[in-house]
Amino acid sequence: MKYVDEYRGQDFVHSLTKKIHSISDRTLRIMEVCGTHTMSIFKHGLRRMLPEQIKLISGPGCPVCVTPAGVIDAFVELANRPEVIIATFGDMIRVPGTGHSLMQTRAAGAEIHIVYSPMDALELAAQQPDKLVVFLSVGFETTTPTIAATILEAATRQMDNFCIFPANKIMPPPLKALMQDPNLQVDALLCPGHVSIISGSESYRFLVEDYGISCVVAGFEPTDILLSILALVRQVQEERPDVENCYGRVVTAEGNIKARKIVETVFTPVDSEWRGLGSIKDSGLTLQDKYSRFDITRRLDIDIQPSCEPKGCRCGDILKGISQPQECPLFGKGCTPTVPIGPCMVSSEGTCAAWYRYGTLI
């Protein structure tokens, strides 16, 4: 495949792994923050290519996975209201709350649509003027600009029957929280590629300056990831923590300034609950007062209860990087992709789903 095959070439992959083996002389714990990195690492069997002293740890890089159960319960409660149509991305529909998932709720008669963009939800509202269409706004920096643009379009078109349920999150605050966790021992970070397109590689500079953590922004093909791991090995060996951009074909130091300005016009930071990590200051986004009429949590009385993990589920510890999926007593037994109990088994970017699907390649 043009422009892809060159990043998967066996000769290049072998030369990179050989180089990593030749210079690795100490234990190095690397956390990959992005769920797409997690899936790619498992899919291509990269763990077994690396020397045993390099330990890869999966972090909270899946927006579906870090959405608390209490918020999912609120989604379900909202979907059961007869005047409401729910629009959501596909991954969210199967995530169980403390009672039911959106899929089970839809099977029971609620009107829930899977959409591919927030603009699809806006068009659904235009087609259903007698209904209140609510888009479940879940995602990191990558998806937030399109949601902000949809809010601006809704305001221009005066679409009063369109709202979002704001549950967006931003990545730097949880990274800071993780670095302050004494139970997590991490030497370096494989920083997210998609998020960095918007936020820019320099958004991780505080991790170097405040915590001495080596950071590399990585792409998603095997050679992208191996090149980034090689860069991290060199940084740690030379004791020169820095932010390196190994995904320069799409990521810049400053990121997408125009996209960030759109987000800042529509959203404002707010404290937010993360599954496994708790409440983190200024890690979420809510609508500016000017656009509050498009926030369903301000238009309707919606009760968000404190999160409660399913009995035995260790998704919270897995998202913090202090447990591996196979350490969960439910993994592969009561919890499978067909019948998931925790969100990490549901999402296409979930650590448990990756481990379950590609575990033989570890």
Gyration radius of the chain over CA positions:
21
Instruction: Tell me the two tokens of residue 136.
Output: 């479940």
Checking if the pLDDT of 322 tops 80, the result is yes
Helices (H) and strands (E) in the chain, counts: 16, 11
Domain spanning 67-170+257-299: CATH superfamily: HypD, alpha/beta domain 2 (3.40.50.11740)
Percent of the chain residues topping a pLDDT of 90: 80
Instruction: Tell me the two tokens of residue 218.
Output: 């990585």
User: What is the separation, in whole angstroms, between the first and last Cα of the chain?
Assistant: 26
The amino acid occupying position 349 is E
Phi and psi of 179, rounded to 5°?
A: -65, -20
Instruction: Tell me the two tokens of residue 38.
Output: 């997690």
Q: What's the confidence (pLDDT) of residue 6? A: 62
**For the whole prediction, is pTM greater than 0.75?**
yes
CA distance 291 to 116: 23
Q: Which residues pair with 191 in a beta bridge?
A: 217
Q: Using alpha carbons only, what angle is made at residue 358 by residues 353 and 362, rounded to the nearest 5 degrees?
A: 120
The amino acid occupying position 92 is M
144-171 pLDDT tens trace: 999 999 999 999 999 999 999 999 999 9
Task: Decide: 93 and 114 in contact? Cβ < 8 Å.
Answer: yes
Mean pLDDT of the chain, nearest integer: 93
